[in-house]
Amino acid sequence: MKATIDKIITDIDQFVIKDTKSLEDFRIQFLGSKGIVKNMFGELKSVPNEEKREVGQLLNNLRLHAETKFASFKEQLETAASSDASLDLSRPGDSDEIGSRHPLSLVRSEIIEIFERIGYAVSEGPEIEDDWHNFSALNFPPEHPARDMQDTFFIEKGENEMALRTHTSSVQVRVMENSKPPIRTISPGRVFRNEAISARAHCFFHQVEGLYIDKNVSFADLKQTLLYFAKELFGEKAQIRLRPSYFPFTEPSAEVDVSCTICNSKGCNVCKYSGWLEILGCGMVDPNVLEACGIDSKEYSGFAFGMGIERITQLKYKVNDLRLYSENDVRFLKQFTPGM
């Protein structure tokens, strides 16, 4: 038996493997289910008991010997196959296409940076809001039309009726409830309204809310902050004008126009020949809102403002169809690749 094992080891060593066919022949002959090694193990039972242990050991070595040769030739053949002689190392590689940032995120970042430079922090709140944060704390009377089903998406959440927030003003309530003045914060985020989708309206869009609360904050501070913002965003020549308006959460309230950057206020179809473009709503935070959020309205005052990111992006990049922002057409998106 021992002599046979030695002979098989020599056979293994002398077996020439030169391709996958001879590798497979080797496997069948030595390691297959009817191969030599298996047969030899079968013969172990005819070995006298006292030699079984030693012969068993030799058979294990034999099997290992065959397996090692098989594995190393297999690897050699595979490596040879992958290092194909036709490989051309001088061939230029395929470059990955570089993506671009979405125009809305570009503009959102720019707005955030402008306010961060004058000490504003960024805060965020949930998109699914309760009535208190979206409406009641913001001084919306119960019968206010903005609570109407037509504008707001209401959803059931457990026992509660919740709303998809209709504006980021809800975040100012959360910030005031959770921190003490002085407060200087901007809150970018997505908002939802039950509107038919068209070039000029969408059921979701993005806003940035601003809030400044401290002692002795005045309307002049608000105007100066917004003028600074307009000049940083649209250039040194930009001017603003404020028109009286109404929001439940601010008193007095105003709508802000910026001088038309497209025609330099000469009059064009974007500004409808008025020379001005509306960009945001603002006002002094209503004392009712301060009190609802736990801030003493006799000690503190403040201003708030809110703007649509799509609107600002439309003015900066002259994109006049809101649907383009959410269709993810690469022909649109790749125009915003840096350097193009």
Site string for ligand DAH, 248-277 (x = CB under 6 A): --x---------------------------
Q: Which is nearer to ligand DAH, 8 or 191 (CB)?
A: 191
Number of residues that bind ligand DAH (CB under 6 A): 11
Q: Which is nearer to ligand DAH, 26 or 247 (CB)?
A: 247
> How would DSSP label each residue in 111-171?
HHHHHHTTTPEE----SEE-HHHHTGGGT--TT-GGGSTTT--EEEETTEEEEE-SSTHHH
Q: Which is nearer to ligand DAH, 58 or 285 (CB)?
A: 285
Q: Which is nearer to ligand DAH, 139 or 265 (CB)?
A: 139
Q: Report the nearest approach of ligand DAH to the CB of residue 167 (Å).
A: 3
Q: Report the nearest approach of ligand DAH to the CB of residue 211 (Å).
A: 7
Structure tokens at 339: 């350097």
Query: DSSP alpha helices (H): ranges in 15-91?
Result: 20-26, 36-42, 49-82
What number of CA atoms fall less than 13 Å from residue 337's CA on the CB side? 10
**Interacting residue with ligand DAH among 115, 247, 325, 336 (CB under 6 A):** 247
Q: Report the nearest approach of ligand DAH to the CB of residue 179 (Å).
A: 17
Q: Report the nearest approach of ligand DAH to the CB of residue 251 (Å).
A: 10
Q: Taking CB under 6 A as the rule, does residue 188 contact ligand DAH?
A: no
Site for ligand DAH in 116-175 (CB under 6 A): 167, 169
Which residues lie closer than 8 Å to 130 by C-beta, 6 or more apart? 160, 162, 163
Would you say 274 and 267 are in contact if contact means Cβ atoms under 8 Å apart?
A: yes
Rounded Cα–Cα distance for residues 89 and 309 (Å): 49
Q: Which is nearer to ligand DAH, 226 or 271 (CB)?
A: 226
> Which of 332, 317, 326, 312 shows the shortest CA–CA distance to 198?
326
Q: Which is nearer to ligand DAH, 147 or 167 (CB)?
A: 167
DSSP character at residue 266: S
Q: Report the nearest approach of ligand DAH to the CB of residue 237 (Å).
A: 26
> Which of 214, 315, 219 shows the shortest CA–CA distance to 259?
315
Q: Which is nearer to ligand DAH, 66 or 222 (CB)?
A: 222
What number of CA atoms fall less than 13 Å from residue 270's CA on the CB side? 24
Site string for ligand DAH, 273-312 (x = CB under 6 A): --------xxx--------------------xxx------
Q: Which is nearer to ligand DAH, 169 or 225 (CB)?
A: 169
291 CB-contact burial (10 Å; exposed 0-12 / middle 13-18 / buried 19+): middle
Amino acid occupying residue 66 = A
Amino acid occupying residue 132 = W
Site string for ligand DAH, 21-60 (x = CB under 6 A): ----------------------------------------
Site string for ligand DAH, 202-241 (x = CB under 6 A): -------x--------------------------------
Q: Report the nearest approach of ligand DAH to the CB of residue 146 (Å).
A: 9
Q: Which is nearer to ligand DAH, 69 or 165 (CB)?
A: 165
Bond from prior residue into 141 cis (ω within 30 degrees of 0): no
What number of CA atoms fall less than 13 Å from residue 163's CA on the CB side? 23
Residue nearest to ligand DAH (CB): 306
Note the residues at the interface with ligand DAH (CB under 6 A): 167, 169, 209, 247, 250, 281-283, 304-306
